[in-house]
Amino acid sequence: MAKIDFGGVVENVVTREEFPLSKAREVLKNEVIAVIGYGVQGPGQSLNLKDNGFNVIVGQRKSSASWDKAIKDGWVEGKTLFEIDEACKRGTILQLLLSDAGQIAAWPKIKEHLTKGKALYFSHGFGITFNNQTGIVPPKDVDVILIAPKGSGTSLRRLFLEGKGLNSSYAIFQDATGKAKDRVFALGIGVGSGYLFETDFKKEVYSDLTGERGVLMGAIAGIMEAQYYLLRKKGHSPSEAFNETVEELSQSLLPLVAENGMDWMYANCSTTAQRGALDWKKKFRDAVAPVFDELYESVASGNEAKITIEANRQPDYRKKLGAELDELHNSELWKAGAAVRKLRPEKNKK
């Protein structure tokens, strides 16, 4: 492992240089990796593993949109694509990439095939951490490991095809065979991770649920709405409000942050922007800190898990979810966004 200084805190991380693809292939040369679920993470992880030379099969419910997608992506029924039960039987490593709700529903069937020496792989700590609500309790004689890419499966695949990588966390919940560490490192490199950093199942799900509800999705969407509609109320046009709220952030500033950090982005903006950002940053931080405290407590208490599980159990949940997403899609803010995206020069060249 490499020791990296993260702002004064030294962490052990695993890089491709230390654990090259050739070593990963050697570790898993006798394994059959069964990717169970072909929704959000399944396509990216399975295709990257296949392209990297691993023995991969996919398990998915037949007569579903995800099954059809798998066929279009090149998986062959009866050879590399099977019903979930058959894939679990064939696999020595079961990558459980169904949704959290899907994992709960499929668990009785999956557990039947977790025979001694197999590995159970997750990309989210939800099922294990909240097992009092999910019922997911693995047998003691299998490895239980986690690789959690820090982004969507779409991003994982896109970056892989660009020759890059998406950083991932890793965790070992149970090492029954003595091979769990090699297995998890090999799988992390195999799915296309940039580097691997250590966590545990509980920390992964606590940080993940907080991040999704916070900066990554919930908070940023809420802040965008607040600023956009303030500008509209003050007489600014939809184009001006959207560009100042979303377009400049996503197309100009965030790429600079990704390239060299927030401090570097600040240093490459006008002195007026610098001064204002530094002054108002603290006000926003202090305003939202109590909300983040409340959010983290809701995650740690299991309340967020309970809300998610109960919502997904409702027979009309998909319909209600669709209505909520339609409301977002049809809002003036994101209709303005669709119009602005069509005006980007790269779109006009196609």
Q: pLDDT digits over 263-284, tens only?
A: 999 999 999 999 999 999 999 9
Instruction: List the structure tokens of 97.
Output: 């990439």
Selected from 1.10.1040.10, 1.10.1040.20, 1.10.8.60, 3.40.309.10, the CATH number assigned to the domain covering 211-348 reads: 1.10.1040.10
Note whether 2-199 and 211-348 share their fold. no
The predicted pLDDT at position 346 comes to 67
- The CA–CA distances, whole Å, from 57 to 80, 226, 244, 342 equal 4, 46, 46, 39
| Domains of the chain by residue range | 2-199, 211-348
**156-204 confidence digits (pLDDT tens):** 999 999 999 999 999 999 999 999 999 999 999 999 998 999 999 999 9
Task: Report the Cα–Cα distance between both ends of the chain, in Å, rounded.
Answer: 45
Confidence at residue 9, expressed as pLDDT on a 0 to 100 scale: 87
Q: Does domain 2-199 have CATH number 3.40.980.10?
A: no
List active site positions: 124
User: What is the model's pTM?
Assistant: 0.91
| Predicted local distance difference test score (pLDDT) of residue 350 | 44
Where the chain has pLDDT below 50, the residues are 347-350
For the stretch 134-161, what's the b/e string if a residue is b when 16 or more beta carbons lie within 10 angstroms of its beta carbon? Answer: bebebeeebbbbbbbbbbebeebbebbe
Q: Residue 123 in contact with residue 14, Cβ under 8 Å? A: no
Q: Are 147 and 184 in contact (CB under 8 A)?
A: yes
Q: How far apart are CA 97 and CA 47, in angstroms?
A: 13
